[in-house]
Amino acid sequence: MSRPRNDSRRMALLDAATQVFAKHGLQAPTSLISKTARISEGSLFTYFKTKEELVTALYLDLRVDLASAITSNFPRRSSVRVRFEHVFRRYVTWGVAYELKRKALRSITLSNLVTPAVRAQSSELFAEVDRLLADALQQRLMKDLPAGMSSQALKAIAEMTMDLIDRDPERGDEYLSAGFQMLWGALARKP
């Protein structure tokens, strides 16, 4: 069978799953998701054969969402630093604006439900970021770091920044600036 065609129901389910997983974690019952989506319990399983499939689909959906937030209007021609700041600000801004999406994505990422293949597949969405890091390296702007470490640092510092803003949203801008300063200090060869 092909995927059921009523796409708005599918999206309603993904949206509901975002809310529910953000609030209750991955072990939340599927019945809560279908209820939130105002869809019958059984119908959920016509859109996603299993809970695991729903989780995987949501993971991909959220990763696409995040990637497009980062990549849209990407200043491809600008300097490394400008692009870096773009990525960081967009990442954090997205995470703060869509707290539920971020929390759901985190819950999924921390679980073991998503296969490595799917993770790898979704990573391709962030090719622009990889290119940026490669440029930075080539231009000798970055410290000599083991492969892959810089992107992880970006992620770690961004996530940390979001958590802090969650707790104290009024000082969001401060955290955002400080976060980028820290990130640049962590990665750049010279400040």
Partner DNA sequence: TATGAATGAGAATTCATTCAT
Partner DNA sequence: GATGAATGAATTCTCATTCAT
Residues that bind DNA (CB under 7 A): 1-6, 9, 27-31, 39-47, 49-52
Question: CB-wise, 75 or 148, nearer to a copy of itself?
Answer: 148
Q: Which amino acid is at 119?
A: R
How large is the angle between the packed helices 172-187 and 80-97, nearest 10 degrees?
Answer: 140
Interaction partner, residue 155 (a copy of itself, DNA, none; CB < 5-8 Å by kind): a copy of itself
Establish if 188 lies at the interface with a copy of itself (CB under 8 A).
yes
CB atoms within 10 A of CB 49: 9
Question: CB-wise, 48 or 98, nearer to DNA?
Answer: 48
Residues facing residue 188 across a β-bridge = 142
49's CB contacts (< 8 A; 6+ apart) are: none
Half-sphere exposure (Cβ direction) of 106: Cα atoms closer than 13 Å: 19
Interaction partner, residue 116 (DNA, a copy of itself, none; CB < 5-8 Å by kind): none
∠ CA 103-165-90, nearest 5°, is 75
Question: CB-wise, 66 or 183, nearer to a copy of itself?
Answer: 183
- d(CA 90, CA 113) in angstroms, rounded, equals 27
- d(CA 147, CA 134) in angstroms, rounded, equals 10
Q: Which of residues 159-178 bind a copy of itself (CB under 8 A)?
A: 159-160, 163-164, 168, 171, 174-175, 178
Interaction partner, residue 139 (DNA, a copy of itself, none; CB < 5-8 Å by kind): none
Residue pair 105/63 in contact (Cβ under 8 Å)? The answer is: yes
Question: CB-wise, 5 or 190, nearer to a copy of itself?
Answer: 190
Q: Which amino acid is at 72?
A: S
Q: Which of residues 29-68 bind a copy of itself (CB under 8 A)?
A: 40, 42
Q: Which of residues 79-118 bind a copy of itself (CB under 8 A)?
A: 110-112
Interface positions with a copy of itself (CB under 8 A): 2, 25, 27, 40, 42, 110-112, 143, 145-146, 148-149, 152-153, 155-157, 159-160, 163-164, 168, 171, 174-175, 178-179, 181-183, 185-188, 190-191
